[in-house]
Structure formats: structure tokens, C-alpha cells
């Protein structure tokens, strides 16, 4: 079998994905069965020489199922305490310095014990602790005891939503805790940090203080991100500017940064060793340089926090260094797959992580596409070898040619994943990368790391090199600001589905093999499928004949998307229940991109407070939405009418069916007063603002078929549910059921569907 590591890696990935598909039905019987099959395959592989490749793939497939199943089964001992109605007392260790903003502190804490009426229960899990009215000076290693309310990490249950629960689970966070006042936090003394925080904080604490003392706040945030791996100190405007230019990867310590450190260290160590004639004759300088490069690579990973993405990138770089030591550096695909095998064996759930997928696919794409692109560009610029420049000009030419080829290859191969996770096409990513990565890799990062290495020796020299690095960073930011200021720097786009991503990569593969007749037929077939897919979605979005209303889960607030017949769209409200979270940007917009909606025609606010409109400014700017001026309107056969009755702020009518927005059960009664509406042909939508006014009369005869409750939670929601169910109608809640889609067909048929999205157990 040629390059067996590729097939073994694919088998392991298939096993982990299979374990995910089986997670809801995974039990002890299946575990025992899989273990027996695994033992049988090992014995078979030892006794026979035939089909060893197939058996090895089956072994790794079974290993993937076992690794993935064990990772998915890991529970939390803190989750049961989130169901307590009263507050509980926890004790733990502060792992990282808190991030404080407007007297609200957020920090990571390792919980060691839970104190309840039944006694003390030891645990060993991490949580995110939020302290309001923060007036303390907590540091890493502080042991604290606090009275808090534990909350389970939950997702917004909409299709296309970010799987926040899975993201936090992969980071090792069990749940969240909230302390109402800093006075409820008691300092219990100092305690040794657990591994690896004891090493990382010992290294990072003096560096963090050095940066904070010598740098301005904006520069401190960027240096904290690229050297310490802490992005919490970056302001949102700087992050948006960098993301707009397609350079968001420079803010996350990953394969790019660790690869630059490894490359610079290898070149410097090799150059230093070659200064000694005797050393060059006695040893293989290339192998010795690769061995010595391991030290700065691991050191940089520790300084940057040694988080899971950093560990994955470190494993990948170390595998490539060992391939140089073992003289296998030419077989880069096998080295990449070996790194993937090691990473997924240690962190099986990394296969679902965007950072792992982007890093791994980027490297694979560069290996695959770079020779084609480099050859094409070189042939276009220099048709014949006689025209190649000589000397140092040749080195500069090939350096920038490699940089351009790498940027183009990475962008081409990552485009569907970038759209899937970030919904953005960075149109100027290639020139932005070509103009900024050399400054980062040859100026900012090496001088910044050299400055902190001088910190124990000479503070003045360390400050001098930090200022040199900071000057380079300012030049880099000026270039980024130039690219980001251009109106065409990036565009927002819809989220592709799995089929479309597969078609894209299939088309890309066949284009590289276009000289074969079968490949050309495959290209035509894929183009035909893409054309049919485009026609389907255009017809569904622009020429739909039904009225579709989707009620989104935006927490305690309410939001509804109305898709009128023949394509027009209107958004009603936008959540706004949390002062520190923008539902429009983080919840509503991803659903619109998932639904292939790039244009919103109208915005209607039933709560026209300033904070609601401010939150929807993102929707208005990106989707071109305008505020609906007249509440009484007819849009493509759908009537929208307001009401002077404060209990019924909005009514929508279509094909004899009424959708009535009410504030509470008083509005429920008002809706059918005087037989204005037919209960059999109406839908009641309860807004979240007035659920507290719950009054119900058992003798009410008007019973609508469907009631939909937006937002809210707790005892009031349960009481409202019981009242509505006693009336005999079908009740849905965005808080309990997630997003709800209602379709009114041309034949006056109402169809209601739950669109729960990612409400399942996080991975």
C-alpha cells in the first residue's frame, strides 16, 4: 500500500464520525461488541499476511469509534447543580488573570469542591466565572470560595447557529457561574496551579506585566494575542478591521505563528552551526538544527498558553521536524497524516473544531495546489529559463512567488470552510497576506520574542527590541487598515451546505486532472449539479408562493422573519434581552446566511426603544434593510396592520388566516372579542414582554389551533403553557422548542415545523 498513513488517517476520521452518528444509541453492549471485534482484528492481522492494509484500516476505524465514543461520553459532575433553584457555594483556583470590563470580571476557575446542604462534594472541573460589581484583585493561583448561580451552557436552537456548547466542551469548560456581587467572593489563600498552568503562568506573568507597562492599550492587545495567545484585550474595532482584510488568522496563535518560529529558529541555528567548520564536518547540521529547533517551538507554545489549538499546531510542527531528522522530509503528505493521527488520538473531538479543519485543510491544500499555481505564475511571468534573474534578485523573486502561491492555494482550498464558519469572502486576502505576513514573520514576531528572551538579562535591551517590534506592528496595522478601508475588501455571503462543499472539492480535484477524458466528463456533471442547485435555491427564495414565518430562538427576547410570496423579506424585532450580547450579529444574521438570505427589505420594531434599533443596525447595514414606515400595509397579498389596542400590537393576514401578536392572555381574550377573528383560522403569537400578566378563564370558548410563545422562561412560561394547553390548542415555544417555522400554503393550509438546529449534546 503506497503511503499507508493517508488511508489510516482517513479510517480514523471515519471511525470518529461514526461514533458521533451513533452517540445517541451508544451503550455498553455495543462497546463490548466493538472491543471483541477490535481484538479479533488484531489476532487476524498477526496470523495472516493477506489483506494487511485493509485490516489495518479496519483497526484504525474501530479505534476511531472507541476514541470518539469515550470523548463524547465524558460527562460533568457540575451539570446536576445547574438545576438547583437556589445559589450554591463553590471553591476553586483561579487559573488565569481575570478580564475586567465595566466592573464585570470574567475568569477561568478550576472547581475543587461544591458545598450544599448535604455536605461537601469534591470535583475537578473548569468553569467560566462571571463576577458583577468586581472590586477584588484576583490573580492566577488564588484559591477562592464564592456564592453563585450555576448555569448550563446552552445554544441558540436555530439552524446555522454557532455550536457554543460544543466549543466550550472542547475547551474543557463544564458550565458557567455567576456571582451577583464581588462581596460574595472570599479569598482563601494561595495554591499551586495545576499542570500546565503552573508552567505557562510562571512564564507569561512577567511578560504580561512587561507588555502592559511598556505598550499602549491597543499595542498591548495585539502583542498579547500574537505572543501570549490572549485575545481578550483586543478591542472590537481592531478585530473587525483585521477580519475585514482577511487576516484574522494572525491573531490566533496556531500553525502560522509556530511555523514561523520553527522556520526562523531552524535557519538561525543552522547558520550558527555552519560558522564552525569542525562542527559542520562532525555532524549532520541539518538534523542537529531540527533537533535544536524543538526547544524554541515548545517554549513559544508554553508562552502562548499551551491551549489545545496550540498543542495541535505544535504536534504538527514537531512531526515535520522529526521527518527531517529521519530524512523523510520529502514525503510531506505522510507527515501531515501522521500528525493528524497523533492529534485525533489525543483530541478526538478536534475533528469537529473549525481551527483544526482550517489548519489541516490549509496545509493539505498548499501541498496539493501550490506546485500547479507556482508553475502557472512562473510560466506567465517568465516564459523561458533564460529570462530568470540571477543572484539575490532570484531569491527575492522566488520568495515572493512562494508567498503568493501559498496564499492563493490556501484561499482556494479554504474558501468553502471560510464561508461555512465565517460567512465572509475576503476578496483582498491575497495581497493583504503578501504585504503583511513578511512583516509579521521577519520583523514583529522575531523581535518581539527576542525582546522577552532578553528580559531576564537586560530590561533596557528588552524594551529597545520591544519598541522595534512595536514600530513594525504599527506599520503592519497601517497596511491592514489600508486594505480593510477598501469597499471591496470582503463581502458577506450565505453558508454552503455539506453537498455544495463536497461538489466544490470534487470540482477542484477534477480540474487538476482535466487532461483525462473521465475528469472532463466529471467536471461537466458537477457543473450541471451546481446549476440545478442554484436554480432550486433561487426559486425557493425569490419565487416562493407561500407565506413563511420563522420565529427564532433569541433567548428571552422575540424575533420573527417573514418571507412574503415572491421573495420580499421582513424582520420583526431582534431580541435585545441581554445588554452585553448582540443577538442581531451573533444569532439572527447566521440564520439568514444559513437560509441563503442576503437581502432584508423591511425591519418592523414592536418595541421601538433605542437599544433594539441599535442592535439591528448590523442587519440594516449588511442586509440593506429599511424600517417599515407604515404599519398598515399590503405586501404581495399579505396584510400587515397595527392596532391601537396595546394588548394586540400587530396582526398579519393571508388567505383568510390571521396571525395575531398578543402581549398576554388579556390580549388573547381581546383578539376574539366581538368575533372579529375566527379561532379556527388564526394563530396567536405571544410576545415576551407581557407574559407576566397571566389570567385565564376556563370557560373561554374561543380556542385557536396554534399558539406560539416567543422567548421567556421559568415558572411564568410553565404557567402560560398550562393555561394554553387547557384551552386545547397546540402550543410551541422558541425557548423550549427552538426555532419554529410556520408555512401558510395557497390552499389555506397551515404547517408548523420545529427547526431545533444544534440543540443536541455538544461535541
Q: Are residues 596 and 649 in the same domain?
A: yes
Q: Are residues 175 and 247 in the same domain?
A: no
Q: Are residues 286 and 269 in the same domain?
A: yes
- Checking if the pLDDT of 22 tops 90, the result is no
Average pLDDT estimate for 127-150: 94
612 within some domain: yes
- Checking if the pLDDT of 660 tops 90, the result is no
Q: Are residues 644 and 515 in the same domain?
A: no
Q: Are residues 184 and 251 in the same domain?
A: no
What is the H or E stretch that residue 144 is in?
Answer: strand 142-151
Q: Are residues 286 and 327 in the same domain?
A: yes
pTM, whole model, 2 decimals? Answer: 0.89
Average pLDDT estimate for 76-92: 90
262 within some domain: yes
- What percentage of the chain exceeds 70 in pLDDT? 85
Q: Which of 36-40, 145-149, 281-285, 401-405 has the highest mean pLDDT?
A: 145-149
- Checking if the pLDDT of 577 tops 80, the result is no
Q: Are residues 740 and 647 in the same domain?
A: yes
Instruction: Provide the pLDDT for residue 760.
Output: 47
Q: How sure is the predictor about 670, in pLDDT bands with cuts at 50, 70 and 90?
A: low
Asked which of 260-274, 557-571, 672-686 is least confident by mean pLDDT, the reply is 672-686
- Tell which of 194, 223, 242 closes a domain: 194
The DSSP symbol for 585 reads: I
Q: Which of 362-376, 442-456, 695-709 has the highest mean pLDDT?
A: 442-456
DSSP structure string for 435-498: HHHHHIIIIIHHHHHHHHHSTTT-HHHHHHHHHHHHHHHHHHHHHHHHHHHSTTSEEE-PPP-H
Three-state DSSP state, 608: coil
16 within some domain: yes
Three-state DSSP state, 418: helix
417 within some domain: no
The DSSP symbol for 356 reads: H
- The domain that holds 91 is classified in CATH as 2.40.50.140
Q: Which residue has the cell 407581557?
A: 690
Residue 463 corresponds to which cell in the numbers above?
524594551
- Tell which of 37, 58, 73 closes a domain: 73
**pLDDT tens readout for residues 717-751:** 667 777 777 777 788 888 888 899 999 876 567 88
Instruction: Provide the pLDDT for residue 35.
Output: 64
Instruction: Provide the pLDDT for residue 665.
Output: 61
Q: Are residues 206 and 312 in the same domain?
A: yes
Instruction: Provide the pLDDT for residue 675.
Output: 47
The DSSP symbol for 673 reads: G
End-to-end Cα separation, the chain, in angstroms: 33
292 within some domain: yes
* 84 vs 577, higher pLDDT: 84
Instruction: Provide the pLDDT for residue 26.
Output: 45
Q: How sure is the predictor about 666, in pLDDT bands with cuts at 50, 70 and 90?
A: low
- What percentage of the chain exceeds 90 in pLDDT? 52
Residue 39 corresponds to which cell in the numbers above?
481484538
Q: Which of 43-57, 269-283, 525-539 has the highest mean pLDDT?
A: 525-539
b/e burial code for range 570-597 (CB count within 10 A of at least 16 → b): bbbbbbbeeeeebbbbbbbbbbbbbbbb
Instruction: Provide the pLDDT for residue 259.
Output: 93
430 within some domain: no
Average pLDDT estimate for 558-581: 83
Q: Are residues 132 and 214 in the same domain?
A: no
Domains held by the chain: number: 5
Q: What is the mean pLDDT of the chain?
A: 86
Instruction: Provide the pLDDT for residue 761.
Output: 47
* 56 vs 258, higher pLDDT: 258
Q: Are residues 67 and 92 in the same domain?
A: no
What is the H or E stretch that residue 433 is in?
Answer: helix 429-439
690 within some domain: yes
Average pLDDT estimate for 309-336: 92
- Checking if the pLDDT of 376 tops 60, the result is yes
Residue 350 corresponds to which cell in the numbers above?
478536534
686 contacts: CB under 8 Å, gap ≥ 6: 662, 663, 664, 668, 707, 708, 709, 710, 720
Q: What is the CA radius of gyration of the chain?
A: 30
Instruction: Provide the pLDDT for residue 292.
Output: 95
Cα–Cα distance measured from residue 92 to residue 243, given in angstroms and rounded to the nearest whole number:
36
Can you give the residue range of the structural domain that contains 35?
4-73
313, exposed or middle or buried, with CB in 10 Å at 0-12, 13-18, 19+? buried
327 within some domain: yes
Taking the CA atoms of residue 683, residue 685, residue 690 and residue 693 in that order, the dihedral angle to the nearest 10 degrees is 30
Taking the CA atoms of residue 13, residue 14, residue 19 and residue 21 in that order, the dihedral angle to the nearest 10 degrees is 120
Average pLDDT estimate for 348-360: 92
Q: Are residues 506 and 454 in the same domain?
A: no
- Tell which of 150, 175, 194 closes a domain: 194
Asked which of 105-119, 380-394, 459-473, 644-658 is least confident by mean pLDDT, the reply is 380-394
Q: Are residues 506 and 560 in the same domain?
A: no
Angle at 578 between CA 628 and CA 549, to 5 degrees: 40
* 50 vs 682, higher pLDDT: 682
Report whether 123 contacts 111 (CB < 8 A): yes
Amino acid at each position: 500500500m503506497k503511503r499507508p498513513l493517508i488511508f489510516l488517517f482517513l479510517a480514523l476520521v471515519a471511525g470518529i464520525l461514526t461514533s458521533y452518528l451513533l452517540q445517541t444509541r451508544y451503550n455498553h453492549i455495543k462497546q463490548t461488541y466493538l472491543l471483541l471485534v477490535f481484538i479479533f482484528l488484531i489476532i487476524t492481522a498477526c496470523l495472516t499476511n493477506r489483506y494487511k492494509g485493509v485490516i489495518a484500516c479496519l483497526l484504525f476505524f474501530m479505534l476511531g469509534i472507541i476514541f470518539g465514543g469515550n470523548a463524547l461520553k465524558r460527562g460533568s459532575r457540575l451539570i446536576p447543580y445547574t438545576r438547583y433553584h437556589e445559589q450554591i457555594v463553590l471553591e476553586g483556583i483561579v487559573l488565569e488573570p481575570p478580564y475586567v470590563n465595566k466592573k464585570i470580571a470574567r475568569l477561568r476557575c478550576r472547581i475543587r469542591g461544591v458545598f450544599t446542604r448535604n455536605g461537601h462534594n469534591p470535583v475537578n472541573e473548569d468553569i467560566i466565572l462571571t463576577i458583577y460589581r468586581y472590586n477584588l484583585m484576583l490573580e492566577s493561583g488564588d484559591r477562592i470560595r464564592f456564592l453563585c448561580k450555576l448555569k448550563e451552557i446552552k445554544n441558540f436552537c436555530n439552524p446555522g447557529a454557532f455550536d457554543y456548547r460544543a466549543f466550550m466542551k472542547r475547551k474543557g469548560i463544564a458550565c458557567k457561574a455567576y456571582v451577583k456581587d464581588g462581596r460574595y467572593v472570599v479569598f482563601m489563600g494561595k495554591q499551586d496551579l495545576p499542570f500546565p498552568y503552573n508552567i505557562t503562568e510562571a512564564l507569561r506573568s512577567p511578560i504580561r506585566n512587561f507588555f502592559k507597562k511598556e505598550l499602549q492599550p491597543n499595542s498591548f492587545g495585539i502583542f498579547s494575542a500574537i505572543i501570549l495567545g490572549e485575545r481578550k484585550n483586543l478591542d472590537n474595532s481592531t478585530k473587525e478591521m483585521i477580519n475585514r482584510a482577511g487576516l484574522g488568522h494572525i491573531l490566533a496563535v496556531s500553525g502560522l505563528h509556530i511555523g514561523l518560529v520553527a522556520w526562523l529558529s531552524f535557519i538561525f541555528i543552522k547558520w550558527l552551526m555552519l560558522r564552525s567548520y569542525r562542527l559542520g564536518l562532525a555532524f549532520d547540521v541539518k538534523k542537529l538544527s531540527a533537533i535544536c529547533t524543538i526547544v524554541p517551538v515548545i517554549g513559544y507554545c508554553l508562552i502562548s498558553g499551551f491551549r489545545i489549538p496550540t498543542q495541535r499546531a505544535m504536534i504538527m510542527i514537531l512531526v515535520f521536524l522529526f521527518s527531517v531528522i529521519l530524512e523523510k522530509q520529502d514525503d510531506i503528505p505522510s507527515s501531515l497524516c501522521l500528525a493528524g493521527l497523533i492529534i485525533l488520538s489525543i483530541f478526538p473531538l478536534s475533528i469537529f473544531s473549525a481551527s483544526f479543519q482550517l489548519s489541516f485543510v490549509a496545509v493539505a491544500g498548499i501541498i496539493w495546489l501550490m506546485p500547479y499555481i507556482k508553475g502557472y505564475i512562473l510560466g506567465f511571468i517568465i516564459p523561458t529559463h533564460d529570462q530568470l534573474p540571477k543572484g539575490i534578485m532570484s531569491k527575492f523573486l522566488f520568495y515572493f512567488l512562494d508567498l503568493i502561491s501559498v496564499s492563493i492555494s490556501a484561499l482556494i482550498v479554504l474558501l468553502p470552510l471560510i464561508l461555512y464558519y465565517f460567512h465572509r469572502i475576503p476578496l483582498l486576502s491575497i495581497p493583504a497576506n503578501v504585504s503583511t505576513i513578511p512583516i509579521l514573520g521577519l520583523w514583529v514576531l522575531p523581535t518581539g520574542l527576542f525582546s522577552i528572551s532578553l528580559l531576564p538579562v537586560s530590561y533596557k535591551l528588552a524594551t529597545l527590541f520591544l519598541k522595534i517590534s512595536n514600530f513594525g506592528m504599527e506599520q503592519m496595522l497601517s497596511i491592514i487598515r489600508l486594505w480593510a478601508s477598501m469597499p471591496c475588501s470582503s463581502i458577506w455571503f450565505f453558508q454552503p451546505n455539506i453537498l455544495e462543499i463536497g461538489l466544490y472539492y470534487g470540482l477542484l480535484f477534477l480540474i487538476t486532472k482535466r487532461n483525462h477524458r473521465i475528469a472532463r466528463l466529471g467536471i461537466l456533471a458537477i457543473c450541471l449539479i451546481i446549476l440545478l442547485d442554484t436554480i432550486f435555491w433561487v426559486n425557493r427564495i425569490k419565487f416562493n408562493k407561500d407565506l413563511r414565518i420563522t420565529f427564532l430562538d433569541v433567548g428571552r427576547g422575540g424575533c420573527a422573519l417573514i418571507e412574503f410570496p415572491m421573495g420580499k423579506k421582513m424582520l420583526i424585532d431582534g431580541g435585545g434581552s441581554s445588554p452585553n450580547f448582540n443577538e442581531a450579529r451573533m444569532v439572527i444574521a447566521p440564520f439568514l446566511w444559513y437560509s441563503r438570505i442576503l437581502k432584508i427589505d423591511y425591519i418592523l420594531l414592536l418595541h421601538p426603544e433605542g437599544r433594539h434599533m441599535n442592535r439591528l443596525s448590523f442587519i440594516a447595514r449588511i442586509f440593506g434593510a429599511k424600517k417599515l414606515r407604515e404599519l398598515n400595509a399590503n405586501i404581495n397579498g399579505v396584510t400587515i396592520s397595527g392596532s391601537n389596542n396595546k394588548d394586540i400590537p400587530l396582526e398579519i393576514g393571508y388567505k383568510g388566516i390571521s396571525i395575531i401578536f398578543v402581549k398576554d392572555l388579556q390580549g388573547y381574550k381581546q383578539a376574539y372579542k366581538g368575533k372579529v377573528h375566527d379561532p379556527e383560522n388564526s394563530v396567536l403569537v405571544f410576545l415576551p414582554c407581557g407574559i407576566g400578566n397571566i389570567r385565564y378563564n376556563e370557560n373561554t370558548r374561543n380556542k385557536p389551533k396554534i399558539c406560539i410563545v416567543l422567548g421567556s422562561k421559568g415558572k411564568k412560561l410553565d404557567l402560560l403553557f398550562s393555561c394554553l394547553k387547557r384551552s386545547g390548542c397546540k402550543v410551541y415555544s422558541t425557548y423550549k422548542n427552538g426555532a419554529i417555522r410556520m408555512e401558510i400554503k395557497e390552499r389555506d393550509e397551515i404547517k408548523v415545523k420545529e427547526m431545533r438546529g444544534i440543540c443536541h449534546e455538544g461535541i
